[in-house]
Amino acid sequence: MADLGRLSGRRGRAVINGRLAAQGVATVVTLAFLYAAVLLWEQKHYFEEETPVHDIDIPIIARSPLIFHSNSYRHNQSEKCSRDVSPILFDEWRQSKEVICTSNEVSIEQLKLGRWEYKPTITVFKNIILNHLFDDVNKTNGSCEAFASKSLKNDADITTMNGPVFRVQLFAAGNAYEGFHGVLNIAMVMATLNITNPQLVYMVSKGEMESNTRFPNIVEMLTAFSSLKPIIVELPSSWRLTDNGTAVLNTDQPMITLPYMVDFPFQGTSIMVTKTDGALRGRGIDHHCKSEIFRGATDFIRTNLGIGDDSMDTPDSSTIQVLWSSRGPYCCRREGTIYTPTRAIDNEQKLVEAVQTSLGSHYNITTVDFGVNMTTIDSVKSAFKSDIIVGVHGAGLVWSAFMKQHSGLVEMFGGNRGRVNRHYHNIASLADIHYRSLMLDRGKGENLSWNEESVDQIVRKIQSINLKEEPSANEP
């Protein structure tokens, strides 16, 4: 499947030599036909049940493999950093595997990352039967025997979901930063379990699809992980996850056989914010660890969204491209309402113009608002093709994770967010990009203000970033 996938990708296209033998042509045509047939089968074989399962119209593209950088950082940073943010972490997670139970072909296994805050746990279920994709499965010692002993009617309506199924929930997905924890965790679980092309089942709370204006962007992000469209399942209003599971199999209802299903409900934390017994100390404390895991995951997502190096369309490579992340008012968190974020900058456009004038023609500033009508692909591409991102502390700065190595981020604090918030400093460290910060004064209401000194500060911070040098731990 992976080899066939490459035939349809950008890198898999080739110019067919006119002297290509007829047999070779027939082989290529046959493989292309088989690949199309496999994709069609995968897209049609969804399980339909009483709970809404929503089909999302999203283009399928060939997926690149999840590969971590060969130029390992672990050789030029502390042992604590290497242990916390390099692929060594996957080995540690795999070695923690505990078999909860087995019975005939049924098994439940758990892998627990004990050094991380909250001890994130992956649960792998093999050959279980559910009535609903959202069923909360019992994870106690007797569970496997209970599953194996179920006597199924010969006329039972049973659907088998082949391949690995990942049940995904995202914490505070309406916030791009908070939702990104769960996105990174999908990549980490895939790498830990050596899984490619999983069927993602995105479980959402009742009403979330209508109330969350970012919902299409979230689904677009999930398409990076598989050539199979995500299955969207809306949870009943009374649904909640428990330690021991509450679902009881009813053989009078339609049933789903799941040869391999994975749960990982630790979506409020990730490598971006976790605390460990080593170098990572949470979102409030700086670290200076460069991560193959982090860059591998973001490069994987970016590439699979169709954004490669050949998408760079900067007209003049000698001009440094600065992306200004704005926090202006936008519509609509509630239907028909204009939302004004806190920490918006008074007269922001004039500030941008003043900074551009001071920087001169060697720099080109483009303003975007990641909170307004930008798709996931647009956001990732904008960040990737920029050299430096400048913006006030807020969720929009999470897109800096997709910048090229040795790019730069300038974060402006003020109002209700001070420098004690180290979210984006630590993302910059993981992504191996330069980081600078400064303070703006409080303006009208919850807005921020600026003056000539502010312009000078911003300009100095931007000019201090040398894109040809590796970032250092000390911020100028």
Looking at 33-47, 382-396, 398-412, 423-437, which range is the least confident one? 33-47
Is residue 474 predicted with pLDDT exceeding 50? yes
44: exposed, middle or buried (C-beta count within 10 Å: 0-12, 13-18, 19+)? Answer: exposed
* Between 31 and 274, the higher pLDDT residue: 274
Please give the span between the terminal C-alpha atoms of the chain, in angstroms, as a whole number: 49
Which residue, among 84, 86, 167, has the nearest Cα to 133 in the 3D structure? Answer: 167
- State the Rg of the chain over Cα: 24
Q: Residue holding tokens 């758990």?
A: 110
Mean pLDDT of all residues belonging to the chain: 80
Which tens digits make up the pLDDT trace of 60-77? 444 566 766 555 566 678
Residue 381: predicted pLDDT: 96
Q: Which two tokens mark 422?
A: 């180290």
Residue 335: predicted pLDDT: 59
Q: Please report, to the nearest 10 degrees, the dihedral formed by the alpha carbons of residues 236, 218, 427, 326 taken in order.
A: -120
Strands (E), 34-88: 53-54
**CB count, 10 Å around CB of 194?**
9
Residue 246: predicted pLDDT: 56
Q: Which two tokens mark 148?
A: 């194996």
What integer is the mean pLDDT of 270-294? 92
Q: Which two tokens mark 368?
A: 């975007």
* Between 435 and 33, the higher pLDDT residue: 435
Q: How confident is the model at residue 35 (pLDDT cuts 50, 70, 90)?
A: very low
Residue 28: predicted pLDDT: 37
Q: How confident is the model at residue 238 (pLDDT cuts 50, 70, 90)?
A: low
* Between 160 and 473, the higher pLDDT residue: 160
Which tens digits make up the pLDDT trace of 424-468? 999 999 999 999 999 998 877 778 999 999 999 999 999 999 999
With a CB cutoff of 8 Å and minimum separation 6, the contacts of 63 are 5, 196, 197, 224, 225, 226, 227, 304
**CB count, 10 Å around CB of 281?**
17
Residue 12: predicted pLDDT: 36
Residue 137: predicted pLDDT: 83
Which residue, among 401, 428, 423, 426, has the nearest Cα to 413 in the 3D structure? Answer: 423
Looking at 52-56, 282-286, 347-351, which range is the least confident one? 52-56
Q: What is the DSSP string of 210-259?
A: HH-TTHHHHHHHHGGG-SSPPEEEEPPTT----SS------TTS-EEEEE
The answer to whether the pTM exceeds 0.75 is yes
Strands (E), 91-221: 98-103, 106-112, 121-130, 158-160, 165-168, 199-204
Which tens digits make up the pLDDT trace of 322-370? 999 998 766 655 555 666 778 889 999 999 999 999 999 999 999 999 8
Which tens digits make up the pLDDT trace of 19-30? 333 344 344 334
Identity of the highest mean pLDDT range in 128-132, 263-267, 441-445, 448-452: 448-452
Q: In percent, how much of the chain has pLDDT > 90? A: 50
75: exposed, middle or buried (C-beta count within 10 Å: 0-12, 13-18, 19+)? Answer: exposed
